[in-house]
Amino acid sequence: MKILLITPFSKYNSIRWIPLGVSYIASLLIKNRHIVKLYDRSLKGCCTGDKESVNKDMKSEILRFKPDIIGFSTVSPVIYDALECIDYIREFFDGIIIAGGHHATAMPELTLKKISGLDFVAAGEAEYTVLSLANGDKPSGIPGLFSRNTDASGFKNYQIKALDRLPFPEYRIFDMHYYTGANRSSLRGFYLKTACILSSRGCPNNCKFCSESLTYGKGIRFHSADYVVENIKKLIIDYKVEGLYFHDNNFLSSYSHAENVCEKIISNNLHKKIKWGIQAGTTRVDDDILKLLSKAGCVKIEFGMESIRDNDLKNMNKNATKGSNETALVLCKKHKIMAHSYFMTGFEGEKISDLNSTLAWIKRFKPHTFSLHPLKIYPGTELYETSGNKFFENNKWDRDSIEKYFNTEHFRNIDSEEKKKWYLEVYKPFSARYHRKALLNANSLPSLFRMIWIKYFSKRHY
Ligand code: SF4
């Protein structure tokens, strides 16, 4: 069969992470002799910013390729794009349309109800579900496939047990010139040709706001170190990458897995060819593992610290404390691994003085880079259930409503004008100064020259 995969439209994307979910679906389909193409609305959107011309171009592509199945990846903040796009495609396409990803997995029944042109949802990890559909299996017997006739009460999302049975991600369907183009965001602060990779799926924790672990679920599963290293070699040989970002929710959730990967990287001499970064929980770092990570070429660890107040961390069921956040930064410094601290804003009872304390804390503990994101309430999360707003059930999935919902601070304590003023007058200049310094610390002079050259003098259009 012919399958066209489509990513959601996005006008701006500073971090060039390859959509790994799509790449794995494509690779399994191709291995099983199906013909796969990608229409990357996300990348086209970044290049043109013009949705109408992207839609026209997509239509021509669909009419030319004549797919049997169209697959959409969905995320909640732009679910209106899937809805608009599927309505539009239904005007000239009568094949199968299926949606997967975080949003469709979180609410399969409602997604089918709201998006009338959609036939199925692939809930959870979609590789084998989409393959069975493409192979022509009877929909009612396909694990993870949700249709309008599915009984939601006994339904289970699909989870892949043996990850190594999956072929390597299919990179050829992407514009790898873009996705591995040198940039300073993919491996925060390091200006490198960077690709992303997965060595495990799932997360053992239950943070109340987390939508990240919805698709992969709770049971954590691992690729073997051999699989990971072969995947890295492929990226170095085929795409000349200089940096790697492990997309695992917590690379250190199993020490033995992390040790095996590090040792294989070292024994294959890859630590001399690439710099790499991971995400990890602050309670999982210690001297032994950091020493090995550093030896294996790990230069960056991103920590979801969220807050410097224990009360916020406890309320969000974060498996961390202010103390573990501080210790993690001290240990990283000792082992010369740079750290990124993710923080959230918009916790219950937050005051401007709390925001200033966070900046003072950053100055004191000096993560290499940091970011501050508003707390958002995604469907499928515990926070969504307990907040009781049932936004997606009770509202239209149009752009205005969805954008308004995701721009709302649900536990707002600070007046929005006061917060905007703080953001513009305090946070923004602080962050700009801080990250300029971080860039100088992490990159060699030739690398900085390359960055300036590409930004100001080359004809690269993204
Ligand atoms: S540790 Fe990260 S991935 Fe795991 S539940 Fe918490 S926020 Fe989600």
CA dist., res. 40 & res. 173, Å (int): 9
Give nearest CA residue, ligand 1 atom 1. Answer: 205
Give the whole-angstrom CA distance, residue 331 versus residue 287: 7
Residue 455: the pLDDT is 77
Taking the CA of residue 209 as reference, the ligand 1 atom at the shortest distance is 7
Query: Which residue's structure tokens are 């690269």?
Result: 460
Q: Could you tell me the sign of the dihedral formed by the alpha carbons of 362, 365, 369, 375, in that order? A: negative
Residue with the nearest Cα to atom 6 of ligand 1? Answer: 207
Give the pLDDT confidence score for residue 17 in this predicted structure: 87
Residue 90, CA atoms < 13 Å, CB-side half-sphere? 13
Residue to substitute in 249, 250, 278, 307 for testing ligand 1 pocket (most ligand atoms within 8 angstroms of CB): 249
CA of residue 102 to ligand 1 center, whole Å: 14
Give the Cα separation of 353 and 347 in Å (integer). Answer: 13
Ligand 1 center to 317 CA (angstroms) = 10
CA 210 to ligand 1: nearest atom:
8
| Residue to mutate, 208, 210, 282, 305, ligand 1, most ligand atoms under 8 Å from C-beta | 210
- pLDDT reported for residue 410: 83
Residues facing residue 252 across a β-bridge: none
Neighbours of 96 (CB within 10 A): 18
Residue/partner pairs of 177-183 with CB below 8 Å, 24 or more apart? 178/16, 178/43, 178/462, 179/16, 179/17, 179/18, 180/16, 180/235, 180/239, 180/240, 180/241, 181/16, 181/460, 181/462, 182/242, 182/450, 182/451, 182/454, 183/14, 183/15, 183/16
3-class DSSP state of 200:
strand
- The number of helix segments (H) and strand segments (E) in the chain equals 20, 14
Q: Among 205, 203, 200, which residue's Cα sits nearest to residue 222? A: 200
- Asked if residue 26 has its Cβ within 6 Å of ligand 1, the reply is no
212 Cβ below 6 A of ligand 1: yes
Nearest CA to ligand 1 atom 2: 249
Please tell me if the CB atom of residue 100 comes closer than 6 angstroms to any atom of ligand 1: no
* Probe target for ligand 1 pocket from 213, 321, 382, with the most ligand atoms within 8 Å of CB: 213
The Cα 63–Cα 69 span in angstroms is 13
- CA 39–ligand 1 middle distance (angstroms): 30
CA-nearest residue for atom 3, ligand 1, is 249
249 Cβ inside 6 Å of ligand 1: yes
* Ligand 1 atom with least separation from CA of 318: 6
In order of their start, the domains of the chain are 2-154 (3.40.50.280), 180-456 (3.80.30.20)
CA of 368 to the centre of ligand 1 (A): 21
**Ligand 1 centroid distance, CA of 321 (Å):** 14
pTM over 0.85: yes
Q: Which token pair is 170?
A: 């299919």
Q: What averages of pLDDT result for each successive group of 10 residues across the chain (462 residues)? A: 92 78 96 97 79 91 97 94 96 97 96 97 97 96 95 90 96 92 90 95 92 82 98 97 96 97 98 97 97 98 96 95 97 97 94 96 97 94 92 96 91 87 96 94 88 76 53
Nearest CA to ligand 1 atom 8: 210
Question: In the prediction, which pLDDT does 77 show?
Answer: 94
Ligand 1 atom closest to the CA of 203, numbered from 1: 4
Which atom of ligand 1 is nearest to 206's Cα? 5
Ligand 1 site, residue 175, Cβ cutoff 6 A: no
CA of 78 to the centre of ligand 1 (A): 21
| Closest-lying ligand 1 atom to the alpha carbon of residue 281 | 1
- Find the 214 Cα to ligand 1 centroid distance in Å: 10
Query: In angstroms, what is the span from residue 32 Cα to ligand 1's centroid?
Result: 33
pLDDT at 460: 59
Distance, CA 407 to ligand 1 centroid (Å)? 22
